[in-house]
Amino acid sequence: MSLPEEIVQLICRQLSNHRYLDSQTLSFVCRASKALNRIATPVLYSRFNSWEKMKKMASFLRSISLRPELGGYVQEIVFSRFYWFELTEDYLSIFADVATRLGIDLGSWLEEYPYEAMTQLIIAQIPNVKIMDVSTHEVYADDGVGAFTLLEQMAAQVPRRVSLHQLQQLTIGHSDIRRISVGYFGGIIELAPHIRELTISPCYGLYCDEEPKNTRFSLSNVTKLTIDGGHISKTQLESIVRLCGQLESFEFKHHTIYAGLQEISVTPRELIEILALHKHTLRSISVDLGHRERQKTGMFCFSGLCDDGDQILSLKEFSRLETFKIDGTSVLFPEVANPDYHTNILVNLLPRSIRHVELIDAQYESVANMIRLIDSVAKFPFLEEVTLTGNTADGRLGEDKVEFDKHELDTLHAMLERNGITLGNDRYQAELNAY
């Protein structure tokens, strides 16, 4: 204790962040002395992860309920699916008192949906949280009812007793095959108007079967949107994107959790058109639609080239775009045997502002197109790094591995070195070395 308090606090944070230690280690420090308790307690409660343990979650809720100041220390929290734990009368009594203090009626929540109930009671008592990850398991979605309706009740209070004004990063998700929407988590979003980074995994859409729909929440401050889209349609994707203010980063990856639904999954071209329609000044776009469903010869398939017309044609409208990552099924390179063969696809696709290009699981012809891009580097004066890999076995283009021509690889590598452009992929470099 002869060290400055700032150093002691840093030591406590190291204990809190250590990958092999849990919160109990730091709790021992809190018990060592009154001075250490004062310094270490805010660190101990700054982060909470339920680690799939409902008992741990219940104990945490009891602690911040009995001592509300502890909830004010929470900066980062993770709610994950759980192993069952029977709530005793002691817990139920404390949680009922919290609900009364918050001005809500728990009804049968704790008996029927204890995970969702405790999650909401915790969220209501951590006003300074900045990062939140909520993953539901035994989903409360019967009859189209959203899960976080207790928080919706709190959001409707005048004046409000609960606020999440500090929340900037929110991740929402589930492991249920039912169609769970963004609206399912609407109670959280409604209380947190300043969310800047939103991750949805998986995501079916903005609303599904909820009645009544919560249309009061806003995504106007979201600048980074990451979607693990579970068979998401063009209409559903557009309904989310249009609520966002000015997106700077957009990442989309297809999730197969809803495979087989009647809705048609959004195509790569439609996805870019949606982003352009709402005038988002994007700096980074990442698209991986390689494993989405396609209807081929009367049956579903989950790999292969996209149909002509579904590919991304141009990003020129995104005049500030610096990073573009894409899978090989989202762009079509004409094959050599094709009468319309040319190698201007990437040149016609990319904007002048581009700095980083990543193309994975690509066609054989992608190397020639990359060579043409580097040959036209005067049109792309900010280009710093490229990544290119051929389709892996059982990759996004199908079961066959794509092996690039050695001469073309050598040519491309020499051009990259000559222009001071970094080759940003170890596997591609390994292919070169193998030759």
pLDDT confidence of residue 359: 96
d(CA 86, CA 142): 22
Which parts of 162-306 are beta strand (E)?
A: 169-174, 197-203, 224-230, 249-255, 284-288, 294-296, 299-301
Choice among 32-46, 134-148, 283-297, 312-326 with the minimum mean pLDDT: 134-148
Of residues 103 and 201, more confidence is placed in 103
d(CA 318, CA 312): 13
For residue 408, is pLDDT > 90? yes
Per-residue DSSP letters for 118-182? Answer: HHHHHHTT-TT--EEEEEESS---GGG--S-HHHHHHHT-SS-S---TT--EEEEEE--SS---G
d(CA 350, CA 348): 6
- Cβ(115)–Cβ(151) below 8 Å: no
Choice among 50-59, 176-185, 425-434 with the minimum mean pLDDT: 425-434
Query: Stretch 121-136: mean pLDDT, rounded?
Result: 95
Which parts of 25-79 are beta strand (E)?
A: 47-49, 76-79
Choice among 174-183, 405-414, 424-433 with the minimum mean pLDDT: 424-433
pLDDT confidence of residue 141: 67
Choice among 25-29, 107-111, 335-339, 408-412 with the minimum mean pLDDT: 25-29
- pLDDT tens for 213-248 read 788 899 999 999 999 877 788 999 999 999 998 899
For residue 210, is pLDDT > 90? no
For residue 256, is pLDDT > 90? no
pLDDT confidence of residue 146: 75
- Cβ(81)–Cβ(59) below 8 Å: no
Query: At 64, phi and psi to the nearest 5?
Result: -75, -15
For residue 254, is pLDDT > 60? yes
Of residues 51 and 388, more confidence is placed in 388
For residue 128, is pLDDT > 80? yes
End-to-end C-alpha distance for the chain, whole angstroms:
61
Query: Stretch 283-310: mean pLDDT, rounded?
Result: 81
Of residues 155 and 22, more confidence is placed in 155
The H-or-E segment that residue 8 falls in is: helix 5-17
- pLDDT tens for 158-188 read 999 999 999 999 999 887 777 788 988 999 9
Cα distances (angstroms) measured from residue 110 to each of 99, 119, 137, 289: 11, 11, 15, 40
- Cβ(42)–Cβ(73) below 8 Å: yes
- Cβ(59)–Cβ(67) below 8 Å: no
Query: At 30, phi and psi to the nearest 5?
Result: -60, -30
pLDDT confidence of residue 194: 96
Query: Stretch 1-16: mean pLDDT, rounded?
Result: 87
- Token representation of residue 165: 């004004």
Tokens 């389709």 found at: 391
Alpha-carbon dihedral sign for residues 106, 111, 115, 118:
positive
For residue 389, is pLDDT > 80? yes
For residue 321, is pLDDT > 60? yes
Choice among 16-30, 87-101, 260-274, 376-390 with the minimum mean pLDDT: 16-30
Residue % of the chain over a pLDDT of 90 = 57
- pLDDT tens for 328-353 read 999 999 999 888 899 999 999 999 99
For residue 431, is pLDDT > 80? no
- Cβ(359)–Cβ(290) below 8 Å: no
Average pLDDT, rounded, for the chain: 88
Map 310-357 to HEC letters.
CCCCCCCCCCCCCEEEEECCCCCCCCCCCCCCCCCHHHHHCCCCCCEE
Using 50, 70 and 90 to split pLDDT, how confident is the model at 295?
low
pLDDT confidence of residue 138: 65
- pLDDT tens for 27-52 read 888 888 898 888 889 998 999 988 87
Map 106-132 to HEC letters.
CCCHHHHCHHHHHHHHHHCCCCCCCEE
Count CB-CB contacts under 10 A for residue 243.
17
pLDDT confidence of residue 58: 93
pLDDT confidence of residue 144: 59
Using 50, 70 and 90 to split pLDDT, how confident is the model at 82?
low
- Token representation of residue 425: 């992929």
Query: Stretch 75-89: mean pLDDT, rounded?
Result: 84
